[in-house]
Structure 1
Amino acid sequence: MTPDVLAALQAAQVAKRPVALLTRLSDGEQCLWPDKALPGALAETAQAALRDDAAQNVTLDGEAWFVHPHNPPLRMIVVGAVHIAQALVPMAQTTGFAVTVVDPRRAWATADRFPGITLVHEWTDDAMVVLAPDSRTAVVTLTHDPKLDDPALDVALKSDAFYIGALGSRRTHAKRVARLAELGHAEAAMGRIHAPVGLNIAAVTASEIALSILAEVVAARRGAALGGPAPLRPRPPRHDLRAYPAGRGARRRPRTYHPAAGPRAEEGHGAGPGGDRRAAAGRPWQRHRRPARAPATCRRMRPRTAWPMR
């Protein structure tokens, strides 16, 4: 590596600017993209390496190249030191994000609640300007307070953050969009906000909501196409017995009676002497039914649903 290429690479790392280092394997010549213009196919390969954050080998026009991406570290800025943030922060750290929690309420943003995490107690807009979100930064607002969320979103929408999410219902977000429109943001820019934040997994607890948020952040970073919920399979009518499989656990066929059992078999009695349980044909067409119990006449007696012990 020449001193000029090394100096340019170090300057890009200090400025937290993503660059790709391309090395021609035949003679060792190196260059940085996008600092240097490259042919279309080679530039697309460098862009894909930066997007996927993975090195690649490519051969173009008979020349073998090694593409090494140098991306800034992944960051997540969480606005609001709330219960959801307490669950989200350790998950994001495990995924590889350097997390910063912004909350001017010092009673909430404490080292006891967020051990080992960078805490910023400045007002949200001032903190966001200093943090300067880039293309490797995700911004999540969780305070549910317009005085804290709106200034942070105002700065985030002017940045290159790859993910912007805001906690709140659709009605709350509609009011938020109206306020941001008054600040001069276009409808296309406000469409970058993921609200309600997180994937729709019917999350209820703080940990489940944090999980849905992190899943949506990873999906946005990887460019995953998130589809809607799977359609429910229509259930066949209850009378259509052919729609249910045979075997154990299947629906039983409707009870039928042999014609030789006589008219009393339809009333639930056997056709033999003394009300035998089997029909005259000698087959168990009709299962024995326990006779209904007489109604209780005393309050101390057992409920009607209880059968006497034998």
Structure 2
Amino acid sequence: MDLALLSALNAARAERRAAVLVTDLETATSRMVTEETLAGDPLEGPIRAALRSGRSGPVADTRMFLKVQVPPAQMVVIGAVHISQALIPLARMLGYEPVIVDPRTAFATPERFPDVQLIAEWPDVALPPLKVDRYTAFIALTHDPKVDDPALVHAFTKGCFYIGALGSRKTHAKRVERLTAQGVDPDAIARIRAPVGLAIGAITPAEIAVSIMAEVIQAWRQGIA
């Protein structure tokens, strides 16, 4: 592979940017396509589909091969709560890199969340270093506006592929009022999945975690790219 092309792919990986190496199997020539250069590409449709699935493979009816490089999906969970204890193992099993943020040190303890990146800080301190981006599922679970609201505002600016928040419809309506009063764009607020998770009748923390994980997968596979 051309050294410049390899360097460009490595740079994209380091910056958590998706990239696709497009190789002509007849000429053995390759080029890199990123999300920034994708629009108008002759293979735009197949490349978008490959980015969505994360799978490499040949393009039907051509001699072109797509090698997909997608950043690992991460999950930022705001709230060291019972639902989080059930959600984190599910996320890991499905290949997500989980992080928990909760300034409440009585909840955010290594004993309750072993072997997980746990940040016992307020969102304004904890979130900026995390590289939250469009490959991030962002889930607010504390039920505390002082924690959840600023965290959600941060997520809005990062283009996360999934943003969810715990709470009933009544609770969410109050959340919408608060965020609107802060001047948050209505389109951004509308992106919040609330009540969080697919409507499967979940009641227990474990069931709610399953419903959240299912909705995250749906958003990842059907909505991204």
Fold conserved between structures, TM > 0.5: yes
Partner of 1:212: 211
Partner of 1:16: 16
Tell me the CA shift for residue 9 of structure 1: 0.5
Report the Cα distance in structure 1 between the residues aligned to 2:17 and 2:38, rounded to whole angstroms: 16
Tell me the CA shift for residue 112 of structure 1: 1.2
Partner of 2:222: 223
Report the Cα distance in structure 2 between the residues aligned to 1:38 and 1:162, rounded to whole angstroms: 19
Contact kept, 8 Å, 2:164 with 2:196, in 1: the verdict is yes
Report the Cα distance in structure 2 between the residues aligned to 1:128 and 1:161, rounded to whole angstroms: 13
Over aligned residue pairs, what C-alpha RMSD do you find? 1.6
Spell out the pairing of 1:4-153 with structure 2 (5 A cutoff): 4-34=4-34, 40-58=41-59, 64-153=63-152
Tell me the CA shift for residue 39 of structure 1: 5.7
Secondary structure at the residue paired with 1:5?
Answer: helix
In the alignment of these two chains, the number of paired residues is: 222
Say which is worse superposed, 11-20 or 121-130, in terms of deviation. 121-130
Partner of 2:153: 154
Report the Cα distance in structure 2 between the residues aligned to 1:73 and 1:89, rounded to whole angstroms: 16
Letter in 2 for 1:133: V
Letter in 2 for 1:26: E
Tell me the CA shift for residue 67 of structure 1: 0.4
Spell out the pairing of 1:231-310 with structure 2 (5 A cutoff): none
Tell me the CA shift for residue 183 of structure 1: 2.2
Q: Deviations over 1:188-243 (max 9, x none)?
A: 1111100000111111111011111111111111118xxxxxxxxxxxxxxxxxxx
Letter in 2 for 1:142: L
Alignment gaps of 5+ in structure 2: none
Distance 1:59 1:168, change over 3 A: closer
Structure 1 stretches (4+) deviating beyond 6 angstroms?
none
Distance 1:39 1:139, change over 3 A: closer
Q: TM-score, normalised by structure 2?
A: 0.93
More helix by share: 2
Tell me the CA shift for residue 38 of structure 1: 7.9
Tell me the CA shift for residue 126 of structure 1: 2.4
Q: Deviations over 1:76-101 (max 9, x none)?
A: 00000001100111011111110000
Tell me the CA shift for residue 184 of structure 1: 2.0
Distance 1:112 1:20, change over 3 A: same
Secondary structure at the residue paired with 1:194?
Answer: coil
Report the Cα distance in structure 2 between the residues aligned to 1:153 and 1:18, rounded to whole angstroms: 24
Q: TM-score, normalised by structure 1?
A: 0.68
Contact kept, 8 Å, 1:79 with 1:143, in 2: the verdict is yes
Secondary structure at the residue paired with 2:43?
Answer: helix
Report the Cα distance in structure 2 between the residues aligned to 1:77 and 1:49, rounded to whole angstroms: 25
Report the Cα distance in structure 2 between the residues aligned to 1:199 and 1:37, rounded to whole angstroms: 32
Report the Cα distance in structure 2 between the residues aligned to 1:181 and 1:125, rounded to whole angstroms: 19
Alignment gaps of 5+ in structure 1: 225-310
Contact kept, 8 Å, 2:52 with 2:222, in 1: the verdict is no
Q: Deviations over 1:86-144 (max 9, x none)?
A: 01110111111100000111221111111110011121132222213212110001000
Report which of the two structures shows the higher radius of gyration computed on alpha carbons: 1
Tell me the CA shift for residue 164 of structure 1: 0.3
Say which is worse superposed, 142-151 or 122-131, in terms of deviation. 122-131
Report the Cα distance in structure 1 between the residues aligned to 2:38 and 2:210, rounded to whole angstroms: 41
Q: Larger relative contact order (C-alpha < 8 A, sep ≥ 6)?
A: 2
Secondary structure at the residue paired with 1:81?
Answer: coil
Distance 1:120 1:22, change over 3 A: same
